[in-house]
Structure 1
Amino acid sequence: MCGIAGIINLTKPAPNSLELFAMTKSMVNRGPDDEGYMLFNEASIPFYGNDTILKKHQHIDNAISHHFKVGFGFRQLKIIDLSNNSHQPMCDIDQKYWIIFNGEIYNYKEIKSELISIGYQFFSNSDTEVILNSYREWGKKALNKFNGMFAFSIFDSVKNELFIARDRMGIKPLYFYHTTHKFIFGSTIKSIIDSKLYTPAINWEGLTQNFRFSIAQRPTTCFKNITALEPAHYLKIDLNTNIIIKEQYWEIPVNSQNFDLTEKQSKDLIEESLIKAVNYRLNADVEVGTFMSGGIDSTTISVIASKTNPLIKTLTLGFTEFKDFNEIKEATETATLNNLNHKITYTNASDILTNIDQIITTYEEPYFALSANFILAKIAANNHLKVVLNGLGGDELFGGYDVYNKLPLWNKLKMYKHFIKLLPNMHPKISKAIDISGYTTIGEFYAHYYTNYNDYSISKLFNTPVKSTQNTIADTYNPNGLSFTDNFEALNFYNLKSYISNHQMRTTDHCAMHFSFEGRFPMLDHNFIEASFKIPTKYKVKNNIQKYVLKELSKKYIAPSCLAMHKKGLSLPIKHWISNDLKDFTLDHIQKLKTRHLFNNNEIDEILTSNDAYKIWQLVSTELWIDKFISTK
């Protein structure tokens, strides 16, 4: 787990070493353990930085006048192979290929054995070297062998070619800025801004999407001309011609339900896949822990992990003030049942409120709420953990969200939509409930459900022309018109594409990295995902029980109270805070936003009057974001 940065001078070599150093320095939290650089023009020249452990070469300060075609910067958080042999940028034995890599390859030992059997030699015990030699042997096809989370770049100094790839689910971030003269990429948007080679500006289409869906739908961002590389994609840049090719190497396996599976076979398949995914993610040369709420996903993962590592720390967050948010009772009962090494940490409002500026910086884009991920990350750091397992993915794969319950209603309303139009004025709540009858595709239905603002509301709020977002989800994630076995499967697909990859992964990874540790996600293992898509929908929801098959396999691991608990999620009392602890803070920042005249101030006043906590906080968050990243005042 690290931070990577690159500057590619497309038209002619240029002296950008100070800019590269600034990019890398801005990601020190992502990699406090080591630092390195490589500049390439006629030859590869390595440099070290202030935090480099083994200072064998020149300091990067000596490269101020050095003209280069390709520059790599790297910050390392040491997880696998804690020796100096894992230093990056790393080259192969012939110094033909150079790599910078952020993430983990969990099956690296198996791939390494395969490479050794065909004659490769290794000088380290790192997964980085496995990626490097895999690319040397198999090229882009190596991506299909990797089980892990990653964003990496490899420079082929003979072909003068750059290869950049991102993992299947987009767990590790990768952003880039491309002009005629330069291609700049990094693990964070802030690193690109800090290069001073890019001047931040608002991307209004991205901000529109942000207001509607709580996050701009990747590859779009809220920053003009900053693009995210999509999950399961790679870029190849021919530096002889500057031609850039982007391709997708994996897709979520829709239409693979196996209707011959029995309920028991389905449960066994999921359990076997989950155990393997969890055990893979225990591979580390540092201590590994788990986040354990009272829900079934994280408790099941924690218990499975404890079977291999009995001393593993399981961390639970508790609230001193808002006890309705607590899941301590359920988590504790599971911990007692399985004799887990359970750690409970209590937090209160001040832990969030005093860190708002850091949270905004960490998120990098506006967000409609305050997330507990920041506090969870702080708890992991306080427990001296560098690796923590997380239960994300279960709700998306097995139908744990309320949107899945709305499918039957939508199907019925579609049948009677012409009759509904003839009905006289109805109660507003009823009218709102049947609005979904007008959406004819599952993509439109999904987009409507996850909407904070509809297009009409956004057009009233924004002072700039607003592009329709009704088909954004389907156009972005299903441009080729993939068919689905059923609508339940379609929601699985869109939740993985939009909600997990953009919403959950962004906040979770950025918060974890702020505190210099990595989150690992067994239920986002691509083999586990492929197994879950084989399970017939009738076993994912049965007798109106959501996540049925997952709950059935969890029964042997967790306390009954976890299964009976009403879903809470990592919610925070944002509505209470904006009316109390954050009242002055909220009003001050909204007033400042109004002075910018970027939005319709009358509409801002309407939102304040509505007391819609999420819409109000979205405005506050936008002001904080503009002030932090965009404003030159």
Structure 2
Amino acid sequence: MMRSTNDMCGICGFTGATDERAPILKAMCDVMAHRGPDGEGQYTDDGIAFGHRRLSLIDLEGGNQPMVRSTGEHAARITSPALAGDGTPALGAEAAAAKGDYAIVFNGEIYNYQDLRAELEAQGWEFQTHSDTEVLLTGYLAWGEEVLDRLRGMFAFALWNRQTRELFCARDFFGIKPFYYTVQDGQFIFASEIKCILEHPAYERKLNEEALEQYLCFQFSALDETFFKDIFKLAPAHCMTVHADGTTETRRWWRPTYDFDESRSREATVDAIDEAVHESVRYHNVADVEVGSFLSSGIDSSYMAACLAQENPSIKTFTVGFAEYEGERDEITWARELADELHIANNSKHIGEDEYWEVLPRVQWHMDEPSADPSAVALYFVDQEAAKQVKAVLSGEGADEFFGGYRIYQTPFANQKLAWAPKGLLRGASKMARGLGVRGANYLERASEQVEDWYYTNANGVAFSPEERNRLRVGKRANAEERIPTPQELTAPVYAEVAGLDETTRMQYADLFFWLVGDILLKTDKMSMAHSLESRVPFLDKQVFDVSRTIPTRLKADNDQTKLTLREAAERAIPKDWAQKEKLGFPVPVVNWLRQDRYYNEIKGWFTGEIAQQFFNTDELVRLLDEHKAGADRSRKIWIVYMFLMWYKIYFVDKKAPEKPAA
């Protein structure tokens, strides 16, 4: 493995001057101690306060943060605020002496930091540590904001210019690492987790009901403004400057684009994919600690684990499943068989029914905002298992969005069979089929519309429609005079950026800005950090995307199969049975659980309780429960509401973290 001082961590901070900065920073850092149990650092200067929690992989001394740099031409004096003997930040004279000209707090991994360091050294810049943090800080001094275009990795950081009294913040290409912020009374407050901002006394906790409206349709937080009023997410590939007068300026520094290479052969495309994935896995294996890998039954983690095994044959892999699914070739069986084929170690766990339900409150607390994805809980457990043996793990997120992996991406191909039919006829047939309860209504409806009309997230068809939402909602927002935007209106600006491309590519592009960042990557970060585990995502690499963006849609998906050329590339590393296997994800048995009296009665108590009465028509909620118990599948809609109610109780009633279940 290559030498690295990269760390996963949590960052926080705020502008402005107050005599209470030390205890505020301490409280903000303490509430996200799970992101970095190995160390804590603080930095204060006139107008700025930075906090940092560190999950160290190596080099405990050299990579401490916040990191401060003083420059005299290209010479460097790197310092980090000292820690007292008991490990608490020293905010007195020692820290005051380490002001420097620039200070940074950084969460993430810069995988090409060694290449960038060599380039900077050739220009005369000097370094005092082996950390990617110092390379990032020095790169900003050398290239300014253009450093962002040179980075290869995942990152969220804030950088203070002491001379101009400006704060520069940025988030990575695809939004792998989170960055939340708010402006209160002229103070800019930011953090890796919302719960840190809630510890700042300038922020008053308020629910953003507009976020609830969209959550019911998307099944995740889909707006730039979070469920907490006036707390926002910095969008992926965006940066922000906070000026000395308190004003902010945000810009987009990168946008994914497509340029299909129709002249390249299918075999050459497969070659390009295989080379890019192997190289990315090699970069993501940069560490001085052991890097493990998740291993499910699907192609993404199987291909990735096989590539990692070629770099390190002694790797450990991790799998979870549900006892209800035990039997022939379930999730764990597939993983174990592949691990045997690859001669690598596999650690597996069947998640028990009771422990799944017991951990739900803790999962919602870690997520910061309500998440209705049942697989987030499964991810919590596989991260927990991995964290017992390794500090870093590879995960397969991004392959579906890059290479056409979701079955829903095949819909445009199926719709072509009805291209001859008038749209009005298809709409009428869809309404008739829906009224009669006949299968095929969704198929007919989608064939009669443009993809922008019906595809807004992968929750389409399982979450609430705007009409269902309007029947369900009561309370302040439901009674407001202003009109609630539809999901289609929210996604329209994204679709407009790729208006000239085919429907499948437009769906992929929309997912980059909604499903991927709002659901997939959020749970990846929050569930791994819940266990102080670094989760790395090799498919979500800039160089891998540069290959995927050139692949024509016909080589990504067709009416019969998804991820066509990615599967062919994977066959070079794993057996065909695994490379061609359909996607399972985490098959959580929620559908069956919700029909049991035990869980039906428990959720009915939530659905008729005081919190539910504030926001919902409880008769409608009970109707959903009864229909599901009678045999109709209403599980996702039930879960969406149930998780919101649980989250609201944690953050607005109890206002404290739930007890952590025994491991």
Q: TM-score, normalised by structure 1?
A: 0.90
CA 1:422/1:231 → structure 2, altered by over 3 Å: closer, same or farther? closer
Task: Give the length in aligned residue pairs.
Answer: 598
The answer as to whether partners of 2:427 and 2:445 remain within 8 angstroms in 1 is no
Deviations 1:600-619 (A, max 9, x none): 22222222222211111222
* Native 8 Å contact 2:28 2:199 kept in 1: yes
Give unmatched runs, 5+ long, in structure 2. 1-7, 72-99, 629-633, 656-663
Deviation for aligned residue 1:118? 1.0
Contact kept in structure 2, 1:19 and 1:197, CA below 8 Å: no
Match of 1:535 in 2: 551
The correspondence for 1:84, drawn from 61, 78, 91, is 61
The answer (yes or no) to whether the contact 1:218–1:230 under 8 Å persists in 2 is no
Superimposed CA distance per residue, residues 356-380 of structure 1 (whole angstroms, 9 cap, x where no aligned partner): 2211111222222422111111111
Matched, 1:93 2:62: no
1:128-157, Cα deviation, whole Å (9 max, x unpaired) = 001010001111000011101110000000
Find the counterpart in structure 2 of residue 625 from structure 1.
647
Match in the other structure for 2:358: 354
Q: Which residue of 2 aligns with 1:26?
A: 31
The yes-or-no answer on 1:615 pairing with 2:637 is yes
Contact 2:117 2:135 survives alignment (8 Å): yes
1:71 is matched with which residue? 49
Distance 1:616 1:296 in 2: 30
Q: Classify 1:70/1:422 alpha carbon distance in 2 versus 1 (closer, same or farther; 3 Å).
A: closer
2:266–2:565: 8 Å Cα contact kept in structure 1? yes
C-alpha distance in 1 between matches for 2:242 and 2:186: 13
Select which of 345, 369, 374 maps to 1:370. Answer: 374
1:250 aligns with: 254
SS in 2 for 1:328: helix
1:596 Cα shift?
A: 3.9
Pair 543,243 (structure 1): closer, same or farther in 2 beyond 3 Å: closer
Give the CA deviation at 1:218.
Answer: 4.0
Contact 2:392 2:533 in 1 (8 A): yes
Residue 292 of structure 1 corresponds to which residue in structure 2? 295
Hey, what does 2:659 align to over in structure 1?
none
Structure 2 counterparts to residues 10-409 of structure 1, below 5 A: 13=18, 15-41=20-46, 69-79=47-57, 81-94=58-71, 95-239=100-244, 241-254=245-258, 256-323=259-326, 326-371=330-375, 372-383=378-389, 385-409=390-414
Q: 1: distance between equivalents of 2:494 and 2:205? A: 26
Percent identity over the alignment is: 29
Q: Amino acid of the residue matched to residue 554 of structure 1?
A: A
Displacement of 1:593 in angstroms is: 4.7
1:418 deviates by 1.8
**What runs of 5+ residues in structure 1 fail to find an aligned partner?**
42-68
**TM superposition shift of 1:476:** 5.4
Distance 1:97 1:306, change over 3 A: same
* Shift in alpha-carbon separation, 1:336–1:5, aligned structure 2, 3 A: same
Question: Which residue identity lines up with residue 120 of structure 2 in the other structure?
Answer: L
**Deviation digits for residues 363-407 of structure 1, max 9, x if unmatched?**
222222422111111111122x11000111222222221211211
Counterpart for residue 517 of structure 2? 501
Letter of the aligned partner of 1:381 in structure 2? A
Maintained 8 Å contact 2:296/2:331: yes
Alignment counterpart, residue 443 of structure 1, candidates 440, 444, 452: 452
User: Which residue number corresponds to residue 529 of structure 2?
Assistant: 513
What's the offset of the Cα at 1:484?
4.0
> Residue 59 of structure 1 aligns with which residue?
none
* Residue of structure 1 aligned with 2:464, choices 437, 441, 453: 453
What is the rounded CA distance, in whole Å, between the counterparts of 1:169 and 1:624 in structure 2?
Answer: 29
In 1, Cα distance between equivalents of 2:587 and 2:573: 25
Contact map agreement 1:594 1:601 (CA 8 A) in 2: no
Contact 1:257/1:485 (CA < 8 Å) preserved in 2?
no
| Residues 216 and 484 of structure 1: CA distance in aligned 2, closer, same or farther (over 3 Å) | farther
CA contact (8 A) 1:331 1:562 kept: no
**Which residue matches 1:555?**
571
Tell me the secondary structure at the aligned position of residue 50 of structure 2: strand
RMSD: 2.1
| AA of the residue aligned to 1:375 | F
| Pair 418,282 (structure 1): closer, same or farther in 2 beyond 3 Å | same
Q: Deviations over 1:252-281 (max 9, x none)?
A: 122x11111100110011111111110000
Cα deviations by residue, 1:37-60 (Å, 9 ceiling, x for unpaired) = 11111xxxxxxxxxxxxxxxxxxx
Q: Which residue is 2:92 aligned to?
A: none
> What is the aligned partner in structure 2 of residue 430 from structure 1?
440
| CA positional deviation for 1:412 | 5.6
CA contact (8 A) 1:592 1:623 kept: no
Whole-angstrom CA distance in 1 between matches of 2:599 and 2:619:
22
Which residue is equivalent to 1:586? Answer: 603
* 2:74 matched residue in structure 1: none
SS at match of 1:545: coil
SS at match of 1:191: helix
Q: Note closer, same or farther for the CA distance 1:164–1:401 as it changes in structure 2 (3 Å cut).
A: same
Match for 1:7 among 5, 14, 19? Answer: 14
For 1:601 and 1:354, the matched residues in 2 are separated by 25
- Note closer, same or farther for the CA distance 1:579–1:152 as it changes in structure 2 (3 Å cut): same
Separation of aligned partners in 2, 1:336 and 1:588: 47
Query: Is 1:573 matched with 2:573?
Result: no
Q: What letter corresponds to residue 157 of structure 2 in structure 1?
A: F
Deviation at 1:287, TM superposition (A): 1.2
